[in-house]
A and B are shown apart, each in its own frame.
Chain A
Amino acid sequence: MEGILPQLLAGIFISAAASLLGVFAILKRMSLVGDALSHVALPGIALALFLKINPFLGALAFLFVSAFGIWILEYRTKLSVDTIVGVFFTASLAAGALFIPELDILEALFGDIEKLTSTDILVSVSLSLALILFLLSVHKKLALHMVSQDMASSIGINSKQLEFIFLMLFSLGVALGIKFIGALLMGALIIIPAAAAKNISRSLRGFMALSVAFGILSAISGVYLASIYNLPPGPIFILSGTAIFILSFISRGIFRR
C-alpha cells in the first residue's frame, strides 16, 4: 500500500481537478470538443520525446496552441467548430500514432502512473491544486457564462476572455492527465465523473461536489485495483467511472419520475 501512496496522491488531485473542469465542460455541452482536444497532446508528446524533453511540456504546448486555435475559430469563421475539431484533432491522433516510437506509444495513449517520478508527482499535485483553486475563484462567472452568454455579457462579463481562460485551464487539465491516464482516455477523465454527477444533482453545488467525489473515487479504485492486479490504472479508472455513471443513471430513473 505504501508504494502506491504517491501515485494515489497524484491520481486524486489530477482527477479532482479534471472532474471539476468536467462540470463546466458539460454545462457548456462541449464534451466532444474536450475529448478531441485531448488527442492533440499526442503530436506534442511525440515532439517532446524526439527532443528528449518532458512529454508533459510537449503536450501542454500543443494543447495551448490548439485551444488558442479553437478560440480564434469560434469567433473568426463561420465553420462549425465541431467539424474542424473532428477533422484536425483526429488527424493529430493519427500523426501522433505515426511519430511516437512504438515503445512509447502505449504509455502515451493510456498513461503509466508507475513511471511518475517524485518531481512529476509534486508538479502534478501542485498544478492540480492551483487549477482547482483558480476554477473555484471564477466558477460563478463560468457557470453563468455557460448557462447564458447573453446574460453574462449583460452584466459586464467578458465572454471572449472567459472562454479563453476556460480553454487554457482545460488544456492544463488534459496535460496533467497525460501520464496518469494517457491522451486517449483523458477526455473521459474529465467528462465521466461530471456526467455521472449530473444524473443525480439538482443544484450546481451538488453537481460540483459530487463530480469531484466521483472523480476521486474512480482515481482511488483505479490506482488501487491496478496495483493489486498489476494492470494499467487508466482503463480501470475509466471503467470505475463508467460503473458510477451507470449506477447514477439507474438511481436517477428510480428517484426522478
Chain B
Amino acid sequence: MANNEPILKVKDLAVKFNEEKILDGLNFEINEGEVLAVIGPNGAGKTTLFKALLGMQPHDGEIKWRKDLKIGYVPQRMEIETDIPLTVLEFLWLRGSENFSEEKAREAIKSVLLKEEILDSGLGEISVGQRQRILIAWALLGKPQVLLFDEPTADIDISGQESIYQLLHHLQDKYNLTVILISHDLNVVYKYAERVLCLNRKLICFGSPQEILNTEQIQKLYGGGHAFYHHLEKHQY
C-alpha cells in the first residue's frame, strides 16, 4: 500500500484578488501520513491557500492531489445562532454521505470522543469546543485520506485546544490521515507537525519544525521575535 509519490504537489501557486497578489509562487509537496503546519501572520493568505487546495478558489499554477483522494475540511469557525433549529445528528446527515445512518453518526461521534447523547442536542447549544469536534466528525464521515484543519484564532478562548490536537494525533494514527493544519500556536506546531510551511503571501520557509522554528526564520516571518516568545510563555504550563 505504501506509496512514495507525494500525496500533494503544489507548483507555482498564485492567487490574485483585483490585481493584489494574495499568494505568489508557492511550491511544496506533502507525503502521505504527514502533518504539515501552515503558519504566518494575519493576512498571510493561509485561509486562501486552504480554499485553493479545496478547489474553492480560482488560482494560477498547479495543485495536484493524488488521484481519487477524499479531502475533509474543518473550518476555523462556524457562525451560527444559538437557537438554530438543527440537531447535531441532522447536521451530520446534511453532509449527504453515502449510506448515512444513525449508526454511522454514532461511530463518528465516538471517534471524536464525544458522548452519543450530543446527537440530539441543538448544534447552536453545544460549546465551541464540542462544535469543533463535531466539525471534525462531519469531515470524517466522508472517509477522507486528508484532513484540512483551520485552527480557531487565538482570540477565541477554547478550553481543551490541547486535547483537540491529541485527538487529531490519535485520528491521524488510526486512519493514516495526512493532516494540513493552519496554526497560530507555535507550541502546537512544534509538538505535532512534521513539516512547517511559513507563509507570508510567498513561501518564506519550508522544513521540519526544528529547522524552521528558530528565531531568525520567525523574525523573518512575523517581522520580529516577539510573537514566538509570547506564545511560548503563554502555553508553557
Interface positions of A (Cβ within 8 A of B)? 27, 140-141, 143-144, 147-148, 150-151, 153-155, 197-198, 201-207
Give chain B nearest CB distance to A103 CB in angstroms.
44
Q: Please name all residues of chain B whose beta carbon is closer than 8 Å to the beta carbon of A144 when the two chains form the complex.
A: 94-96
Q: List 21 A-B contacts (CB under 8 A).
A: A27-B84, A140-B94, A144-B94, A144-B96, A147-B78, A147-B84, A148-B78, A150-B75, A151-B73, A151-B75, A151-B138, A153-B56, A154-B54, A154-B72, A201-B85, A202-B85, A202-B122, A203-B85, A203-B90, A206-B85, A207-B85
Q: Please name all residues of chain A whose beta carbon is closer than 8 Å to the beta carbon of B56 when the two chains form the complex.
A: 150, 153-154
Q: Please name all residues of chain B whose beta carbon is closer than 8 Å to the beta carbon of A198 when the two chains form the complex.
A: 83, 85
The docked-state distance in angstroms from the alpha carbon of A140 to that of B71 is 20
Q: Please name all residues of chain B whose beta carbon is closer than 8 Å to the beta carbon of A207 when the two chains form the complex.
A: 85-86
User: Which 9 A-B pairs rank lowest in CB-CB distance, beginning with the nearest?
Assistant: A154-B73, A207-B85, A201-B85, A144-B94, A153-B56, A150-B75, A203-B87, A204-B90, A204-B86
Complex partner residue of B142 from A155, A202, A206, CB under 8 angstroms: A155
The docked-state distance in angstroms from the alpha carbon of A27 to that of B122 is 14
The docked-state distance in angstroms from the alpha carbon of A133 to that of B73 is 31
A148/B87 contact (C-beta < 8 A), A141-B96, A143-B94, A153-B54 known? no
Q: Please name all residues of chain A whose beta carbon is closer than 8 Å to the beta carbon of B122 when the two chains form the complex.
A: 202
Q: Please name all residues of chain A whose beta carbon is closer than 8 Å to the beta carbon of B222 when the two chains form the complex.
A: none
Complex partner residue of A148 from B75, B90, B96, CB under 8 angstroms: B75
Q: Is B2 an interface residue (CB 8 A)?
A: no
Q: Which of A27, A141, A204, A205 has the most CB of B within 10 A?
A: A204
Q: Is B91 an interface residue (CB 8 A)?
A: yes
Closest partner residue, chain B, to A202 (CB atom): B122
Q: Please name all residues of chain A whose beta carbon is closer than 8 Å to the beta carbon of B75 when the two chains form the complex.
A: 148, 150-151, 154
A202/B87 contact (C-beta < 8 A), A147-B94, A154-B54 known? yes
Give chain B nearest CB distance to A256 CB in angstroms.
8
Closest partner residue, chain B, to A256 (CB atom): B83
Closest partner residue, chain A, to B87 (CB atom): A203
Closest partner residue, chain B, to A23 (CB atom): B85
Given contacts A140-B96, A144-B95, A151-B78, 10 further A-B contacts (CB under 8 A): A141-B96, A144-B96, A147-B86, A154-B56, A154-B71, A155-B96, A155-B142, A203-B90, A204-B94, A205-B90
Number of interface residues of B (CB under 8 A): 24
The docked-state distance in angstroms from the alpha carbon of A141 to that of B95 is 8
Give chain B nearest CB distance to A121 CB in angstroms.
33
Give chain A nearest CB distance to B85 CB in angstroms.
4
Closest partner residue, chain A, to B121 (CB atom): A202
The docked-state distance in angstroms from the alpha carbon of A151 to that of B73 is 7
The docked-state distance in angstroms from the alpha carbon of A197 to that of B56 is 34
Q: Please name all residues of chain B whose beta carbon is closer than 8 Å to the beta carbon of A147 when the two chains form the complex.
A: 78, 80, 84, 86, 91, 94, 123
Q: Please name all residues of chain B whose beta carbon is closer than 8 Å to the beta carbon of A153 when the two chains form the complex.
A: 54, 56
Q: Which of B72, B75, B84 has the most CB of A within 10 A?
A: B84
The docked-state distance in angstroms from the alpha carbon of A151 to that of B137 is 13
The docked-state distance in angstroms from the alpha carbon of A152 to that of B53 is 15
Give chain A nearest CB distance to B55 CB in angstroms.
8
Q: Please name all residues of chain A whose beta carbon is closer than 8 Å to the beta carbon of B80 when the two chains form the complex.
A: 147-148
A204/B54 contact (C-beta < 8 A), A147-B91, A148-B75 known? no
The docked-state distance in angstroms from the alpha carbon of A155 to that of B135 is 13
Complex partner residue of A155 from B91, B95, B123, CB under 8 angstroms: B95
The docked-state distance in angstroms from the alpha carbon of A164 to that of B199 is 35
The docked-state distance in angstroms from the alpha carbon of A4 to that of B235 is 72
Complex partner residue of B86 from A150, A151, A154, A203, CB under 8 angstroms: A203
Closest partner residue, chain A, to B78 (CB atom): A148
The docked-state distance in angstroms from the alpha carbon of A203 to that of B93 is 12
The docked-state distance in angstroms from the alpha carbon of A198 to that of B80 is 14
The docked-state distance in angstroms from the alpha carbon of A155 to that of B56 is 10
Give chain A nearest CB distance to B154 CB in angstroms.
20
The docked-state distance in angstroms from the alpha carbon of A202 to that of B125 is 10
Q: Please name all residues of chain B whose beta carbon is closer than 8 Å to the beta carbon of A201 when the two chains form the complex.
A: 85
Q: Please name all residues of chain A whose beta carbon is closer than 8 Å to the beta carbon of B83 when the two chains form the complex.
A: 198
The docked-state distance in angstroms from the alpha carbon of A206 to that of B96 is 19
Query: Are A150 and B73 in contact, with the CB atoms below 8 A?
Result: yes
Closest partner residue, chain A, to B79 (CB atom): A148
Closest partner residue, chain B, to A211 (CB atom): B85
Closest partner residue, chain B, to A198 (CB atom): B85
The docked-state distance in angstroms from the alpha carbon of A154 to that of B78 is 14
